[in-house]
């Protein structure tokens, strides 16, 4: 039966990016899992593998030196294309893998068992893998054990994400946003395609709280977050930095394209009626500060400072508008 989620690569990549786990430091829960897989299944190599656009990156690994390999030579790119486990008992006899440098050369993978790592939305973002340097049969019991460990990996990925999400608005927390922004900067430096950072501040929010109460203020923040989220692309990054201050990172989008997108967002917020629980209806506005990331931007902190300065300029100009930092 055709499964549309298995063929929607842009949505799968967006789901992977939402996890905010690529290129992160070693974390004990994942390290324990690959150690257990190697011990219980008696294999020399075990990995928690995440499959990006053009690479497979190892969140945790045993028996491998590499941090990542090209996706084109990986076993896991095949694993994520199906719902059931991928079992390869003899890679030299499998035409999909016989010519792979991972089979012909180090680490000399001759057999493989991989369980897809599925998000709650149904996207396969990677796999939990057990590999041997000799042909072998993985028994049904082996596959069942590996599947149970894969479920634990998925749970850990979700728990990690929950810790990064603001419970009121559903946006990333400040910590989660900064972590994803740092990774986006590293990606931009690698591929030379830069983005725009947008600071957003709700205008006269204190007046909302003072007039209607803090419960109404929370409703307004949730409504604002919903409008922003629905206006963004899957690849965009959205966070709440604190109070009524939010930020959006638009990857690979600069100049007029970024300005047009944020102007549409500004209008969407200004024209969106917010119905409060006391039957009152509010209209709110927001101010925006934009800064493009360039090869000369030294750090995320400097980028944020530049966008923040533009936000203050927008508020000084009367609010409900945007200001864009000049760049060369």
Q: Determine, yes or no, domain membership for 135.
A: yes
CA distance 287 to 99: 56
Residue 109 lies in domain:
4-162
Domain of 221, CATH number, reads 3.30.70.270
- What are the Cα distances from residue 14, in Å, to 11, 17, 18? 5, 5, 6
112, β-bridge pairs: 88, 131
Domain boundary among 119, 138, 162: 162
* Rounded distance between C-alpha atoms, residue 173 and residue 208, angstroms: 23
- Which tokens go with 28? 């004990």
Given a cut of 60, is residue 59 above it in pLDDT?
Answer: yes
Q: Provide the mean pLDDT of the chain.
A: 93
Q: Are residues 193 and 229 in the same domain?
A: yes
The answer to whether residue 245 scores a pLDDT higher than 80 is yes
Q: Which of 140, 162, 184 is the last residue of a domain?
A: 162
pLDDT in tens, 287-312: 999 999 887 888 889 999 999 999 99
- Which residues lie below 8 Å from residue 156, measured CB to CB, with a gap of 6+? 29, 30, 33
Q: Same domain, yes or no, for 251 and 147?
A: no
16 in the same domain as 122? yes
CA distance 71 to 73: 6
pTM for the full model? Answer: 0.63
Query: Are 13 and 5 spatial neighbours (Cβ–Cβ below 8 Å)?
Result: no
* Bridge partner list, 179: none
Which of 69, 42, 57 minimizes the C-alpha distance to 130?
Answer: 42
Each residue's pLDDT tens digit, 184-200: 888 888 888 889 999 99
* DSSP H or E stretch at residue 55: strand 55-62
| Count of domains for the chain | 2
Query: Looking at residue 123, which CATH number applies to its domain?
Result: 3.30.450.40
pLDDT at 223 exceeding the cut of 90: yes
Q: What is the pLDDT of residue 158?
A: 87
pLDDT at 328 over 60: no
Residue 63 has pLDDT above 60, yes or no: yes
Could you tell me if 38 and 145 are in contact, meaning their C-beta atoms sit under 8 angstroms apart?
no
Per mean pLDDT, which range of 67-71, 157-161, 251-255, 322-326 is the poorest? 157-161
Residues 281 and 158 in one domain: no
Same domain, 200 and 319: yes
- Helix (H) or strand (E) run with residue 247 in it: strand 245-250
CA angle 51/54/55 to nearest 5° reads 50
The reply to whether 284 falls in a domain is yes
Considering the domain architecture, whether residues 28 and 158 belong to the same structural domain is answered as yes
């Amino acid at each position: 039966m055709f499964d549309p989620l298995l063929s929607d690569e842009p949505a799968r990549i967006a789901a992977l990016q939402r996890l905010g786990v690529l290129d992160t430091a070693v974390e004990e829960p994942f390290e324990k899992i690959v150690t257990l897989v190697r011990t219980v299944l008696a294999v020399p190599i075990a990995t928690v593998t995440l499959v990006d656009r053009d690479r497979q990156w190892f969140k945790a690994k045993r028996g491998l030196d590499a941090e990542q390999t090209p996706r084109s030579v990986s076993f896991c790119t095949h694993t994520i294309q199906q719902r059931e486990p991928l079992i390869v008992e003899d890679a030299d006899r499998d035409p999909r893998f016989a010519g792979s440098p991972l089979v012909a050369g180090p680490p000399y993978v001759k057999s493989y068992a991989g369980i897809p790592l599925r998000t709650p939305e149904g996207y396969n973002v990677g796999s939990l893998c057990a590999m041997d340097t000799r042909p072998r049969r993985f028994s049904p019991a082996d596959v069942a054990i590996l599947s149970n460990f894969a479920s634990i990996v998925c749970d850990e990925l979700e728990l990690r994400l929950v810790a990064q999400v603001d419970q009121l608005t559903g946006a990333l927390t400040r910590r989660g946003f900064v972590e994803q922004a740092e990774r986006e900067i590293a990606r931009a430096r690698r591929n030379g395609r830069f983005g725009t950072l947008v600071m957003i501040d709700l205008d006269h929010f204190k007046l909302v709280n003072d007039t209607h109460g803090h419960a109404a203020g929370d409703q307004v923040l949730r409504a604002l977050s919903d409008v922003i989220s629905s206006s963004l692309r899957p690849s965009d990054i959205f966070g709440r930095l604190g109070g009524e201050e939010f930020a959006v990172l638009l990857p690979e989008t600069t100049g007029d394209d970024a300005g047009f997108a944020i102007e549409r967002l500004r209008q969407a917020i200004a024209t969106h009626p917010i119905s409060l629980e006391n039957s009152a209806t509010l209209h709110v506005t927001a101010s925006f500060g934009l800064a493009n990331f360039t090869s000369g931007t030294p750090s995320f902190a400097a980028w944020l400072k530049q966008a923040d300065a533009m936000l203050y300029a927008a508020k000084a100009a009367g609010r409900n508008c945007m200001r864009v930092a000049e760049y060369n």
